[in-house]
Amino acid sequence: MPPRINPTWIRSSPLAKRSSQCLSNARPFSGSPHHCTRLRRSMFRWLRGPGENFRRPFPGSTNYLSGYDSQGQLWRSLENAPSRSLGEEASDPSEESNLDSEGNPRQSKAAPEDKADLRPFPINSGFISQPVLSEELREEIYDRVISGGKSVKIVSAELGIDMNRVGAVVRLKAIEKDWVKKNKPLAKPYSKAVLEMLPTTPLMTFPLRPKMHEPINDLPVHPATTQQIFEPTSESRSFTRIDASKAFDPELLPTDERIPHPELIELEKERLLGIPQEERIERQRERAKRESEKREAKDRRRKEIEEATLKRVLSAESGGNGGRWEWRFREISVQDAGKDGRAPGGVGWRYGIPHEDRKKGQVKIPTRV
Amino acid sequence: MRRKFHGLKRLKIRQSWNKYNLYNLSRLRRQDVKTRTFFQQKWTAKATTRAYHGEQIREKQWQRMFRPRLASVVPMDHRYLAHFDGSEQALGRGSGLDVDHSASGDTARKVQKTPYMTMVYAPMERRLDTAIFRALFASSARQARQFVVHGFVRVNGKKMIYPGYMLNPGDMFQVEPERVLYATGAPKTRSQRRSGRKKAKKTPPASEITSNEKSTDEDLDMSALSLSEPIATATPPPSENPITALLARARATISSVDQLTLTAKQKQAFRSLKKSAKTLYSQRENAPAFAVPALEAELSNFTALINPSTTSPTPTPVDSKTAKDTTAPGKTIQQANENPIDPSKPYGTPWRPRDYMSPFAFIPRYLEVNQNICAAVYLRHPVARPGLAEVPTPFHQESYQLAFNWYLRRGR
């Protein structure tokens, strides 16, 4: 029987001590040296020290790198206690880290985070973690649009949420309700955990004014406006935004028409004119009605044109007035395929022109679904 | 060739929630622009930023995606637009008149710079795999890519297997919630892994699974019956004698447990429960006062130790009862229902977020995410606005400017 190694000898040897610093789950009886570099050692030291804060989420708040100083101390908690003297601060970190490892006591210490605490990447100040909609606010949006029958535009202006987002929230919420109806399990624990880690925009109930989630009147920077141009005009001329847009590009609409909520400008102008509120509301209603009528008329016209180009043929049945089948024919022009027969408007497969999809370099990833 | 994905020597930031990545991020510094040639600076900037932004894509593919035009928006104030028609900006220019909006009631508008340069990699954010990572459905862009390739992702309700699919504004993508829970949840502990293995060993081949599921349901019912049965057959009024009721409950629990599936700790608890139940049974008439609550505690402890999930042999009614006895509020029960213990899952249950997730948790504004159904809508392309850029970028703006200059020549 070969001599056995007592594990206690190895644990006490300097070799094992060094290795255990970076490999906590190393076999205690192994005598071979572990290749632990200085970098790895310093990483594990950091993870045990300041990095320990990031292991678990900060209860009830965000937990980004920029929220802590190099010692792993929370900036927000520092600001919260301005009465601390320098000497006390120096002795603090150990106490703070003790509290941090427990998790819960930190909660009471943190002040609400400011913009600097919301940077997930400390050296890039141009990116911050912006708030997301809270669960209640999403529910409210869905209620207003579906149950309240309000238009997306109105809900967007009321709550300060982009129109695209309002539409997306309603769409996603509808699926969620469908899942609930079908008894499909939701990822509730995940949702709860993630929303707790992120900054959220809360729902403000009536006496409080709704908190604006994001700017809703974003003007996209048009490429034509990114260059400086020399436009000579007379000094007496009032050179407005409309003139400016014309100067940039004759086709370019003025700012007032390019923003998503031009009706807000109208409302504000009427308010400036001193028109009473009831009348303003009445006028706004009128405008909205006119707009929706216009849209509907446009839709109708499009459908009519489509119907006119479509030829329906019903199958003849022995009994009854309608056939069982309906064939729909649409006029197609041969010229649509273009000169080389490969124009995207062309229909069907054309004799003598092979498919290109097996050729080298043809991308078959769909561009839309 | 890539040697290490998360290296410590060559500091590369990756799209992942790994702790190595977090450590690297914590010691990331600005790029040296003082002592190096312009070409060297650009080369380093390109290399470091590309290691983060779509490292899974070949360089040529990215060069084809690159566009020199960077999208941005300017938030407009409708009150300002109603007050002024824009002519006031041209008024007296060059004649000593300065535009001061603060005087005319408008708040002083300090115009911030728009960080255009951090928008270099905006086209990457359109990719399906990147968007899944940004929506916090996967713990790394590579994992997100795998989810797509393995068919766990749907775009507008249709299965999409191309991670390079470029999302269009308004596209909705969904990931299987089970996959998301696996990707973002903490892994199983040792004992959870072991109990899962034991369960897998015990389960019969797949052909019998459906019938077996039914039988387990019946077993549950049976055990629930057997729970109430001994109480009925024991001394006539069961509610009057707490000792007999407790003993009956203990007996039901003991008889329903299959010893082979237990871990060592559970076996210990099981043996001690059996022993104390026997002792109490032997001294029913003159049991000491502490014996009843002691057994009660032991019983609840044991039921908590073994799995209260559906497939486990423990009857659920006992669980809910003990939960009520100990904590009372229905909220905890509801939480337990939402987040049950289930050894059949590939992640640790009850579910909790994985370690080191919180410093990486952010959702950019161009996505609208519903976490309950693990679906998100790609609202629009990312844009820059005064003071902020929407593309998540870990490096300094200077690095992006240098990278932009690099691709300006080499891109199309």
Residue of B nearest to A169 (CA): B368
Least confident of A97-106, A226-235, A309-318, B102-111: A97-106
A256-265 average pLDDT score: 94
Contact of A342 with chain B, judged by CB distance below 8 Å, is answered with no
A334-354 average pLDDT score: 82
- How far, in Å, CA of A227 to CA of A60, rounded? 47
Contact of A173 with chain B, judged by CB distance below 8 Å, is answered with yes
Which DSSP category does A53 fall into? G
**Of the ranges A10-14, A177-181, A323-327, A359-363, which is most confident?**
A177-181
Q: Are B93 and A237 in contact (CB under 8 A)?
A: no
CB contact under 8 A, B29 and A197: no
Model pLDDT, residue B304? 77
Q: What is the pLDDT of residues B398-410, one digit of tens each?
A: 999 999 999 997 6
How many CB atoms are located within 10 Å of the residue A50 CB? Answer: 21
Q: Are A231 and A247 in contact (CB under 8 A)?
A: yes
Q: Minimal Cα–Cα distance from B257 to chain A, Å?
A: 29
Asked if residue A51 has pLDDT above 70, the reply is yes
SS3 B360: helix
| Position B152 confidence tier, pLDDT thresholds 50, 70, 90 | very high
Asked if residue A91 has pLDDT above 60, the reply is no
CB contact under 8 A, B8 and A126: no
In the block, which residue shows the tokens 């549950």?
B220
B374-387 average pLDDT score: 96
A103 contacts in chain B (CB < 8 Å): none
Would the CA dihedral through B51, B53, B54, B58 be positive or negative?
A: negative
A311-331 average pLDDT score: 79
Q: Are A57 and B358 in contact (CB under 8 A)?
A: yes
Which of B71, B165, B377 is nearest residue A171 as measured by Cβ atoms? Answer: B377
CB contact under 8 A, B392 and A120: yes
- Domains of chain B, CATH where assigned: 19-70+118-182+358-410 (3.10.290.10), 208-338 (no CATH)
Model pLDDT, residue B296? 79
Token pair recorded at residue B322: 């003990």
Asked if residue A338 has pLDDT above 90, the reply is no
Q: What dihedral do alpha carbons A199, A203, A208, A210 form, nearest 10°?
A: 80
Residue of A nearest to B169 (CA): A164
B224-251 average pLDDT score: 53
A72-86 average pLDDT score: 62
Asked if residue B320 has pLDDT above 70, the reply is no
* CA end-to-end distance (rounded Å), chain A: 71
How many CB atoms are located within 10 Å of the residue B42 CB? Answer: 22
Model pLDDT, residue A78? 62
* pTM given for the model: 0.76
A113-123 average pLDDT score: 91
Write the DSSP assignment of A163-181 as a string of letters: HHHHHHHHHHHHHHHHHHH
Token pair recorded at residue B265: 């700790």
Contact of B361 with chain A, judged by CB distance below 8 Å, is answered with yes
Pairing of strands B375-378, B171-175: antiparallel
Q: What is the pLDDT of residues B244-286, one digit of tens each?
A: 777 777 777 777 777 777 777 788 888 888 888 887 777 776 7
Model pLDDT, residue A87? 34
A positions 93-112 inside 8 Å of B (CB): none
Q: Nearest CA to B145 among B157, B158, B127, B159?
A: B127
Beta strands in A87-136 (DSSP E): 132-133
Asked if residue B103 has pLDDT above 90, the reply is no
Least confident of A14-18, A150-154, B285-289: A14-18
Q: Are A107 and B338 in contact (CB under 8 A)?
A: no
B positions 323-342 inside 8 Å of A (CB): 338-339
Asked if residue B164 has pLDDT above 60, the reply is yes
Which of A55, A179, A190 is nearest residue B351 as measured by Cβ atoms? Answer: A190
Token pair recorded at residue A137: 């606010």
SS3 B15: coil
Pairing of strands B375-378, B367-370: antiparallel
| Position A318 confidence tier, pLDDT thresholds 50, 70, 90 | low
Model pLDDT, residue A18? 45
Asked if residue A235 has pLDDT above 90, the reply is no
Asked if residue A82 has pLDDT above 50, the reply is no
Model pLDDT, residue B310? 39
Write the DSSP assignment of A276-294 as a string of letters: -HHHHHHHHHHHHHHHHHH
Least confident of A254-258, A277-281, B237-241: B237-241
In this complex, how many residue pairs, one in chain A and one in chain B, have their CB atoms less than 8 Å apart?
A: 248
A120 contacts in chain B (CB < 8 Å): 359-360, 362, 392, 394
Asked if residue B317 has pLDDT above 50, the reply is no
Q: Minimal Cα–Cα distance from B39 to chain A, Å?
A: 23
B135-141 average pLDDT score: 97
A266-281 average pLDDT score: 93
In the block, which residue shows the tokens 């387990």?
B216
Percent of chain B, pLDDT > 90?
Answer: 52
Model pLDDT, residue A223? 93
Model pLDDT, residue A4? 62
Q: Minimal Cα–Cα distance from B168 to chain A, Å?
A: 7
CA A255 to chain centre: 25
Percent of chain A, pLDDT > 70?
Answer: 82
A33-62 average pLDDT score: 90
B321, exposed or middle or buried, with CB in 10 Å at 0-12, 13-18, 19+? middle
Q: Are B314 and B307 in contact (CB under 8 A)?
A: yes
Beta strands in B322-378 (DSSP E): 367-370, 375-378
- How far, in Å, CA of B183 to CA of B160, rounded? 19
Task: Choose the mutation target among B70, B76, B165 for the interface with A, i.e. most A CBs under 10 Å.
Answer: B76
b/e per residue, B193-228, with b = 16+ CB within 10 A?
eebbeebeeeeeeeeeeeebeeeeeebbeebbeebe
Least confident of A12-26, B40-54, B298-312: A12-26
Least confident of A164-168, A277-281, B13-17: A277-281
Asked if residue A321 has pLDDT above 70, the reply is no
